[in-house]
Amino acid sequence: MKRNVLIVNQKDNVIIALEDIKKGSEILSPGIESFPVLSDIPYGHKIALTDIRKGSDVLKYGEPIGQVKSDIKKGTWIHIHNMGSYKNNLA
Amino acid sequence: MEAFKGYGRADGRVGIRNHVAVVSTVSCANGVVDKICAEIPETVKIIHANGCGRGGEDLRIHSRTLQNLCKNPNFASILVVGLGCEIIPVDSLNKAAASVRKPAERLTIQAEGGSEQAIKKGIEIANKLVEEAKKIEPGIFPFSQLAIGLKCGGSDAFSGLSANSAIGFSSDWIVDQGGSALLTEVEELNGTGHILRKRAVNEDIAKRIETVILRTKKEAEEILGDIAKIMITPGNMKGGMTTIVEKSLGSAVKGGTRPISDVIEYADTPKKNGLMIMDGPGYDPEAMAGLAAAGCQLILFSTGRGTPLGFPGVPVVKISSNNRLYDHFKGDIDINTGTILDGTRTIEEVGTDLVDLIKNTADGMQTKAELNKQDGILCMYNRYRSF
């Protein structure tokens, strides 16, 4: 089965688009139940794999890479418009 | 337990190659070393631009790099070639080799009476060392004896997702075998200190992880000024990156998921096994010099834009991060991970292939960089200036 998304680490709550995915199209990846994306997703960008509460961590590579600025629905495009830098980014 | 065919050395370490290295102590001796090695293709040529004209910390770094490189178990024996008046004397390298009971010979160009005589004598000695090395029988050793250096260079926006994730899978594998993996390129870990510190085996190591990352970031800002602050570019963001943490994790993922057992100095000898961070630069040849001197017998090197560079005496496995590069640069790439990005294979599947390639390389299969003779010259890390 050819995938159109990649999950980098099983702990992650985002998946990565492996092609431009049109709004309403289903994500395809073995082990992940298909669901439609809520907006156009550019190649290489992140899609919420679950609902994520405002202020919660975005997990990629199994680690927090930042936090969402508002409540996010599964299938949402996650990028600089709705997430920010991790608050304890000291080192 | 999985095992490989290697060459047991007197100090208990194991080489995956059985080379004779001809090592220059100073750039003034490079020409003589070059001629000796040209006559004897079985030798590995180690020439560089240092050995004199330096003091303080740079002198310590260069001495340590050359001495510890001589101890790398991929070398059966060493011929040290010096000029005779340099700051890093030939004896210091012979003593380093003797400390691990490795056969080592020496000559200086001044004592021999010039380049012609030194080349003649060097060829005689090196021929003898090659004959001796051929008598060493390989044995079977567990992978706990293998230390792997982790490197990326000429990266692209997707290196973290494909090639570096596959390297991380291999890093976990070697650590689980009881061996070692060395993560370095500390400037590329910027922003991940608070994450990596949680993987440290104790609080002391956690503090050292943060210290080296913060110090490297501060130095970059001091030297590069405002450029250093553009750590995540508009191009990165267009490619899907959001934060510096996300970008740096794409490099740190080479270190897999296992605990971090230690933080070591550039080119220093590790005292532990497991996953370690070596405090060193991202510049490819300098990073590889530090890894080889730290005793790594093999280096995994991911690239998104392509580079042919290898390292003298140490196999460098080239890993392409995308299909386009693999098709364009095939002659220099050992394994392609672009199939992770086109959705046809998983990180685990490609990571397993990479582990198989590591096993074959350890058993003696030559890498593209070895076949193409892309050793390059030894480049050592500098912190200051020459005098």
Average pLDDT (B258-262) is 98
Q: What is the 3-state secondary structure (H, E, C) of B279-334?
A: CCCCCHHHHHHHHHHCCCCEEEEEECCCCCCCECCECEEEEECCHHHHHHCHHHCC
**C-beta atoms of A2 and B257 within 8 A:** no
Could you tell me if B242 lies within 8 Å of chain A, comparing CB atoms?
Answer: yes
**C-beta atoms of A91 and B214 within 8 A:** yes
Contacts of B240 in chain A (CB under 8 A): 16-17, 42-46, 79
Q: Which pLDDT does position A86 carry in this prediction?
A: 58
pTM check: above 0.90: yes
Q: What is the pLDDT of residues B3-28, one digit of tens each?
A: 999 999 999 999 999 999 999 999 99
Q: What is the pLDDT of residues B152-191, one digit of tens each?
A: 987 777 889 999 999 999 999 999 999 999 999 999 999 8
**C-beta atoms of A45 and B240 within 8 A:** yes
**C-beta atoms of B194 and A44 within 8 A:** no
Taking CA atoms, what residue in B is nearest to A68? B242
Q: What is the pLDDT of residues A52-80, one digit of tens each?
A: 999 999 999 999 999 999 999 999 999 99
For residue B94, pLDDT over 90 is answered with yes
Taking CA atoms, what residue in B is nearest to A45? B240
Q: What is the pLDDT of residues B320-350, one digit of tens each?
A: 999 999 999 999 999 999 999 998 999 999 9
**Which residues 38-57 on chain B approach chain A with CB closer than 8 angstroms?**
none
Could you tell me if B341 lies within 8 Å of chain A, comparing CB atoms?
Answer: yes
Could you tell me if B202 lies within 8 Å of chain A, comparing CB atoms?
Answer: no
Question: What is the complex's ipTM, to 2 decimals?
Answer: 0.93
How many other C-beta atoms can be found within 10 angstroms of the C-beta atom of residue B266? 23
Contacts of B160 in chain A (CB under 8 A): 61
Average pLDDT (B239-262) is 93
Chain-wide mean pLDDT for chain B?
Answer: 95
CA distance B357 to B373: 19
Q: What is the pLDDT of residues B31-63, one digit of tens each?
A: 999 999 999 999 999 999 999 999 999 999 999
Pairing of strands A77-78, A46-48: antiparallel
Q: How far is A4 from chain B (nearest CA, A)?
A: 6
What is the total residue count of chain A?
91
At position B30, the amino acid (one-letter code) is: N
- Percentage of chain B lying above the pLDDT 70 cut: 99
Q: How far is B327 from chain A (nearest CA, A)?
A: 19
Q: What is the DSSP letter of B269?
A: P
When pLDDT is cut at 50, 70 and 90, the band that residue A30 belongs to is: confident
Q: Residue B238, SS3?
A: helix
Considering CB atoms only, which of B242, B249, B347 is closest to A80? Answer: B242
